[in-house]
Amino acid sequence: SNELVLGKGLLSTLGDHHKKQRKMLNPVFSPKHMRQMIPIFHDVGRTLVHAIRSRLSDGPTEIDMATWTGRAALEIMGQAGLGCSFDPLVSDKPDEYVTALKSFTYAIGRSAIPRRIMPYLPTVRFAGIGRMLIKLVPHEGVQLLFQLSEIFWARASAIYKEKKYALERGDAAVSQQVGGGKDIMSILLKANMEASGSDKLDEDELIGQMSTLIMAAVDTTSNALSAILTLLAEHPDVQQKLRAEILEAGADKGLDFDALMGLPYLEAVCRETLRLHAPLAQVFRETQTDVVLPLSKPITGLDGSAIHQILIPKNTSVVAGLLNCNRNKALWGEDAYEWKPERWLAPLPTAVTEARMPGVYSNLMTFLGGGRACIGFKFSQLEMKVLLSLLLANFTFERSDKQIIWNFGGVRYPTVGQLGGNASLPMILRAYPSKE
């Protein structure tokens, strides 16, 4: 189903095909390139601050932060990821792509059951067979997902052609584009042009990476930011302590990579939120072979015997609960369900460090692990820290009187008053320092 929606990107490919793509993409997310991108992050962050400030009255003002974090996350991925601008954050009305993206998480949740049949449909995009069959599925969620995929694919194709043309014209043309040729896709396209025949990615794969980067990075990061802002509003003491740290470091003027990544309390707030409220609550996998799964603790069988491992047959669908793992009281203690950033300022429990968690991030499964771990988790961390540092340096955040419900679709996201619909998080903002 991923291929029908996103094309042949990292989320859709398997085995050696996936390894080939990942080998090409890994260098793009290196610390070296992250450092080059931080000016882009700051530029978008400052534009976000200006956009919000222009909408504040003299006193407290209700602002939908889910909308603004989503728009900022998309613009950062647009400029730093694809070398284009999706949303300059000037108008109250975003363009078609932004609107479609806001509906994507909802569409994923609405089509969860029908999507189980999609892997059995023909998935050759250029032949259009699978897409033709999907048009016949009488299901609102599937049809919405199909319409969104058409928008995503058309925009990604247009961006790809423009970038390819600029590369063919030379470095001067590339430098004139958004991102100045330092964006992820420009670097990837250059590397692909220089790769040997067997390592090259074809055009559909390159376009697929563009849609995949947007889908994998925007909703997850923006909703993680929404969760952090919600928790800071609920814990004003933590909000003030964090604001004091970033202001002392000079965050209102913009911090460089090392300074930003070296703020201990900012790191603690991000880690604790990503532990307790991972944007991705669970992942679905299917075994390609028979697998013997060892258990961390034995379970008792019907006959009373201790079972230390279980056999999972080939082609078995498996649901891995990431939130359950991150909140496991046997590892994190009795306060595992409590939000405590301070836990990261002291040594972690021995049970956590000895658990040999396969996750790529902080003994957590938030960004997965192994060969299919989130390739852009450092990009996401940097983005969250830049935006948080600028937002907290310029505004205070309080809860509104509206009931916020967190939905579990493809990604965990907030809505007002009821389950379903597009993400929304009304909050009460004041300019900082206050002029009242």
Looking from the CA of 403 toward its CB, the CA atoms found within 13 Å total: 5
Question: Is the backbone peptide bond immediately before 414 cis, with ω within 30 degrees of 0?
Answer: no
Binding residues: 374
Q: What is the DSSP string of 164-207?
A: HHHHHH-HHHHHTSTTTT-SHHHHHHHHHHHS-TTT---HHHHH
Helix, strand, coil in percent for the chain, rounding step 5: 55, 15, 30
Alpha-carbon distance of 136 to 35, in angstroms, equals 47
Measured between its terminal Cα atoms, the distance across the chain in Å is: 53
Which positions make up the binding site for heme? Answer: 374
Contact between residue 383 and residue 391 where contact means Cβ atoms under 8 Å apart: no
**Nearest to 318, CA basis, from 369, 282, 359, 294:** 282
Q: Provide the b/e sequence for 255-288 (b: ≥16 CB within 10 Å).
A: bebeebbebebbbbbbbbbbbbbbbbbeeeeeee
CA pair distance 81, 159, nearest whole angstrom: 11
- Kindly give the residue spans of alpha helices, DSSP state H, lying in 250-376: 257-261, 264-276, 322-326, 329-332, 350-353
- Helix, strand or coil, per DSSP, at residue 379: helix
Contact indicator for 307, 298 with CB cutoff of 8 Å: yes
